[in-house]
Structure 1
Amino acid sequence: MSEEATSYDASNIQVLEGWEAVRKRPGMYIGSTSERGLRQMVFEVADRAVNEVLDGRAASVDVTLTPDGGVCVADDGPGIPIDETGAGPGLESLLTQMQAGTGAGGRHDVTLGFCGVGPAVVNALSQRMTAEVRCGGVRWVQEYARGVAAAPLTEAGVATGSGTTLAFWPDADIFGAAEFSFDGLEERFRELAFLNQGLEISLTDLRRPDESRSVRFRFPGGARDFVAFLDGHAAVSAPMDTIAFEHEDPRMAGIMEVAFRWCSCPEDRVRSFANSRPTVDGTHAEGFRDGMTAAVTAYAREQGLLTATDRDFDADRISKSLTAVVSVKLDRPEFEGSTRGVLGNSEVRDCVGQAVQDHLGRWLKEDPERAAAVIDRIVHGARRD
């Protein structure tokens, strides 16, 4: 290899100014430039509004897909501060500076997507963004283009009520012909409403006037309602009611919400979440399996439903036909890997396992007839295997 080919000096280093780095490599910030990336953009803007509701400062969030290809996210909270304050950034900082978010953190903060990069990145990847803040009887507006303010913050008249409305139009130079998926957004917003009982959120699609649709989510029953939704019509022949409980455990510095029941379907539907993020596995899911196995096996042996020669049940056998939601909210969640799909807090496993064992064990003893139906199904299934 020649000396010319191997030379490397300062002239080889490319320095990107402002938002150029984000616009040049958007996948590093929102995952992709396909529909999945567009969905992430919505989540990054809606994140702040959802937390306003969960913190008790707003009543609802409304997300609208507009006919001109934009997205509008509105809440009825106190309104983003228009100036810098000791409590957090002002409007322009929030929308033009990376990660200028104001989330409380820990169990009280919900992150809708996997990135958490904030609305400023959405602004940088949008050909246009508008902000309307209603507070103190005044309506303030400002417009942005590709990450920077296109005009100063302007007083635009009298405001009725309070709140914030952010709208953005993704840059076609980056996203091409990709479109927002109503179904993908609907699934995540529904999931959030199940996992956070105080949240009310609506999604409206106005892109095609002859096919407009709208949904609104609010589930006071939390995880119990989530299990019923996952079951659908299968719950009609369920051998048991849903067991659901919430339990705070200082050992894991957090709270768990668990709901489960067996039904007639052969497959299992076990969903786990950590701080409202979907997880593929982790110590909370392992603890759930531990607790179920311990409670069912102990009861079966106490009742003579397992003989001395029968092996203990395993978690796979017990989970057949099981529908469950296992959600933990922790002050200091520790995830494995950048995608945060696996929870790693070691103490969570024992905490969830013990709570599930206690609650299921109590139910088995209090309702022997239904308990026998559940155990009989597991016993016969295990012997067939």
Structure 2
Amino acid sequence: MNYDNLKKIFFKMDPENAHDLAITGLRVANLFPSLLSICGKDLVVNNQSLNQNLLGLNFPNPVGLAGGFDKNGVVLKSLQNLGFGHIEYGTVTPKPQDGNEKPRLFRLVKNESIQNSMGFNNLGLKAVKANVSKFYPLNVPLIANIGKNKTTPNDDALSDYITLAKELDGVCDMFLVNVSSPNTPNLRALQEENFIKELFLALKETTKKPVAFKISPDFSYDEATEICTVAVKSGAKMLIINNTSVDYSLSPNIKEHKGGISGKLITHKSRELFKAISSELYGKAVLVSCGGIDSAEEAYTRIKLGANLVQIYTSFIFKGPTIARDINKELSKLLKADGFENIAQAVGVDITVKAKSDS
């Protein structure tokens, strides 16, 4: 059955139930290594032109899966065999939490977008650590996306992040500190200079693993660049630009004014924010572009604007399990057509070309 037919079935279901069913299917696939191997041969693109060594880690291709799909780290092996070049699990919180009241996940089908107000629903640190330990290490870098519990006051948030970093240090290759989700009350208030400095100083003393910082797309360009600059100066080795948006003016199809929007509705917004931040911070940290990427052409645009890596999520839902393969195959063709032997030669080329023309 091709994915278009399967999608018709999934899209008749409640979105969260469909997601749970997809996770169940991938969990079953975990139990059959021979099946995963067959999938891997078809979906994993082994092309040296896409390979990069960043932060001491080998990224076989630039297309990663953003956090939120496998919150509890239960299908990591299956996701690896779908061809992703890196994978995030989480967001993980110290204590288990149910998340926000349902319904909290909506498809905006005409816009190929999703609106979610999940609220860091996960099984909690202990259970997630046990799950991930069954799979770690993978053949691709694994990022632990960590966040504070809803019931933890912002004044005590630092302790949640330190606890998570200590406990998950042995089951990830990197950390991502999540202070930019719109679905935990007051969380985005932590995207300010003093807390960011304090957080990265504490994490530097807690883990030797690289730590990434993810920004909201709803700041002005100057504000976002300033916040990211503070994060980099404080120790962030990677910037992920960006999380979901609460700009409800993006579409008349918005269900309710709650939760974050992802997918094609934020393609332009995400690209332009990335362009603004990259123009200031290119070369000072590993840059990752996320938001509305569903094709090799869009991924390549972000790469030429300075992205070492890209992340997808919503396009995985709308285009299916072959999307990483499809983007990577086409990316290798685009690189070759432009005369690049490796993706690293294309990263930031539009910035460097502009800089030369302006000088």
Higher share in helix: 2
TM-score tier by shorter-chain length is under 0.3
Q: Which has the larger radius of gyration?
A: 1
TM-score, scaled to structure 1: 0.24
Indicate the structure whose relative CO is greater, using CA pairs within 8 Å and at least 6 residues apart.
2
